Structure 1
Amino acid sequence: MELPVVVGVDGSEPSLRAADWAADEAVLRGLTLRLVYASLWERYEGSVPAEDPGRPVEEALAEDVIDTAARRARQRQPDLKVIADLAPDEAEYALVRESAGATLLVVGSRGRSGVAETLLGSVGMAVAARAGCPVVVLRGSHDNQAVTAARGGVVVGVGDGAEVRAVVAFAAEEARLRGVSLHAVRAWKCPAHEPVDHPLLVGEPARVYEQRAADALEAALAAASPEPTVYRRTAEGHARRVLVAASHEADLLVVGVRRRPDHGTPRLGRTAHAVLHHAACPVAVVPHR
């Protein structure tokens, strides 16, 4: 059974833009779109009068939110099958639970305090850390489309470990669906504590680490066997800075996350944490299994 693309909505403009993006993504993949509204999400300004005086206003509000999002998705993609559902739970728990039966989970970037759309909200961060499927967070000044006019391509950050092939494979499929190129990026650094008289480093200490990065990049791409045109790039510096910089010319940035338990609570690594807060384009977080 093909699993749907799931998107969390709450009536806010960022969540409606996420629904637009998710509708396009579902069409690209030939999948159903599932809209989920968690009825215990924080209330947004305004209210919707209940048609039935005996019905709670919150219930009317929840139904209006989900109906509006579903109607918008169907208008955007008339041939798309759309399912809308109310989840009686906190947003974080409802969406993580939904991820177990999803191909992809999409959430909007919600700002806090006076820095709206600059920092990712707590729900988006928690879902990205705990979801059982890839999560796309709608970062940046995207135009609400999975396929954009800019067609800057899909950028994937290539890290370490056998799990990287799943990350590259996901990015390659996203590039194939959009008909754009795949840009594989590997960051490297020359450790400051490396002895300069090390036999491998005599003459060109940095070159050794750059070559190791290039070799790791080739190995990851060979394992994933991506179909679209692939551009390879190694860059000196911290991975988080390299990828945030690359996001300014990308339609989608893909990173892998290796969940690290901290007293029983999953946490994102520094690279994923940084790009989710500061990337200039949508970010796909692919869990390491």
Structure 2
Amino acid sequence: MTRTFAPNGIRSGWEAWIQEADRRAHTDHCGRSDTRGGNMSQAIVVGVDGSDYAERAVEWAAAEAILRRHRLHLVHAVESWPYRAPLFAPPQTVDLMARIGRDVLNGAQERARERWPDLEITAALVSDDTAHALRGQSADAFELVLGHRGLGGFAGLMLGTTSLRVAARSTVPVVIVRGEGGRGGDITVGIDLRKDADAILRYAFDTAALQGARLRILHAWRISQTLVEAGFAPDRTKVEGELFDRLVSAAGPWRAKYPQVEVVPEIAVDHPVAALANASHSARLLVVGTHARSWTAPRLGSAAHGTIHHAHCPVAVVPAQ
């Protein structure tokens, strides 16, 4: 079940996002707009390791920093000796790894500055476990951006272990840059109507408004096969109608705050991971949430975990409040 609330037209594609960052950077440079509207003390943090995946993440993060008027902060981690260095490595290995890390950071800075010369960029070379370094450097950030696989990944893995570990425990939104992300224009957010969705809806509406994109709000449900076999199959039309009304109600306060955003509520009869993965084919960004905090950090649920493994576009994982 789908219905559209459309106040205006939209642009499409991840390319439009990058182009909008280029346009804004140009107008800011030419003095036609105020670049100080955002919080430059807050950062968009991105992990870099010299891989093509990280290079795409830096491009995504730089465009995001331009659009949100935040600082771009590059992070490279050098695994601590002796536990992470190769066995029987010569004594100078750690120094060599640090020099390579500085070269990686300098190269990423130069490429970002070449395209966006007025973007404020900082960098940090951290001697620590990669996931721990990224969490520490992004603790006060607006969001953390990662490539879906780094130099240490195997070709058969759909998601690097570092990205998954960080997404599971970060206290700020984590964007995992993967897929094409340019074949369609929607921001798609998946929500669980049984839980508080304000944090994820806030992020999704804000991002859609920022990019001039349509927002697709998706809730997926499945008919219990056990109930069907016991003869208690629900009235699908009635259930979908009730769920749709709840979806519209959950989005209501955010539609009032962001009236410029075109909203498409949708109920899908499918497994949540399958529904979100299918939606990602035509999305520029997929937004999912974590479960409530466990000990000191949020944790991924099965739907979010499956979605970030199988999505065909960048995925933003928003921590629960």
CA contact (8 A) 1:37 1:86 kept: yes
Q: Which runs of 5+ in 2 are unaligned?
A: 1-38, 86-91
Give 2:235's aligned residue: 205
CA contact (8 A) 1:165 1:223 kept: no
Q: CA RMSD in A?
A: 2.6
Give 1:279's aligned residue: 311
Among the aligned pairs, what percent are the same residue?
37
2:163 is the alignment partner of 1:163: no
Amino acid at match of 2:47: G
Amino acid at match of 1:70: Q
CA contact (8 A) 1:6 1:33 kept: yes
Alignment TM-score, normalising by the size of structure 2: 0.76
| Distance of 1:4 and 1:287 partners within structure 2 | 17
| Distance of 1:237 and 1:213 partners within structure 2 | 14
Equivalent residues in 2 for 1:139-158, closer than 5 Å: 139-142=178-181, 150-158=183-191
Deviation at 1:170, TM superposition (A): 0.6
Deviation at 1:35, TM superposition (A): 0.5
Bigger RCO of structures 1 and 2 (CA < 8 A, at least 6 apart): 2
| Distance of 2:155 and 2:69 partners within structure 1 | 39
2:133 is the alignment partner of 1:103: no
**1:38-63: CA deviations, max 9, x gaps?**
111989xxxxxxxxx9x932221111
Give 2:251's aligned residue: 221
Task: Give the alignment partner of residue 78 of structure 1, picking from 95, 105, 117.
Answer: 117
Amino acid at match of 1:270: S
| Distance of 1:5 and 1:265 partners within structure 2 | 20
Equivalent residues in 2 for 1:1-289, closer than 5 Å: 2-40=41-79, 56-110=95-149, 112-115=153-156, 119-142=158-181, 150-161=183-194, 163-194=196-227, 205-225=235-255, 226-227=258-259, 228-259=261-292, 261=294, 267-289=299-321
Q: Which runs of 5+ in 1 are unaligned?
A: 44-52, 143-147
Alignment TM-score, normalising by the size of structure 1: 0.84
**1:147-183: CA deviations, max 9, x gaps?**
x5x5511001121345302111111111111111111
- Greater shift, 209-218 or 231-240, is seen at 209-218
**1:52-101: CA deviations, max 9, x gaps?**
x9x93222111101111111111121111000111111110011112211
